[in-house]
Amino acid sequence: MTERSTDHATFVVERTYDAAPSRVFGAWAEPAAKTRWFSGPEGSDQFEYELDFRIGGREISRVRMPGDSMYTYDAYYHDVVVDERIVYAYTMDRDETRISVSVATVEFEPAGSGTRLIFTEQDVFLDGHDKVEYREHGTKELLNSLDAALREVPTNAPAS
């Protein structure tokens, strides 16, 4: 029989981007913009991606990682305040095994001509299948990818 356990954790990551809050928010809200930065690590294959960005909407990403594990991210949007805040809950599965349940808040604040983003995540990791260190590292990598995506398009250009 599998040993059952829960491990609760919270982490916060802050970043400042050289783009207006509306552009940074748009990079989360617009499917074409989000797919430029929200994907698996080098060598992974995206099998499915859907984004219905609205209160009550869902986001689903299925990625096959190097080594053949399939990860499924399934999010539900609970609160959206344009250019200011996003609150969502999501589950993460590895193959057929649920590895975590999380609540995330993304806050966007003006910082001069740019944006200060505050990402807060509260997690419960299930049965030892994942750890906060891994999740926080992955989140930091995604937020670095967001920065790179924002730099690809001039700051005065609309996010698409």
Give the domain ranges of the chain: 6-40+78-152
pLDDT digits (tens, 9 = 90+) for 74-126: 999 999 999 999 999 999 999 999 999 999 999 999 999 999 999 999 999 99
CATH 3.40.50.970 given to domain 6-40+78-152:
no
pTM of the complete model: 0.90
Q: What is the 3-state secondary structure (H, E, C) of 26-77?
A: HHHHCHHHHCCCCCCCCCCEEEEEEECCCCCCEEEEEEECCCCCEEEEEEEE
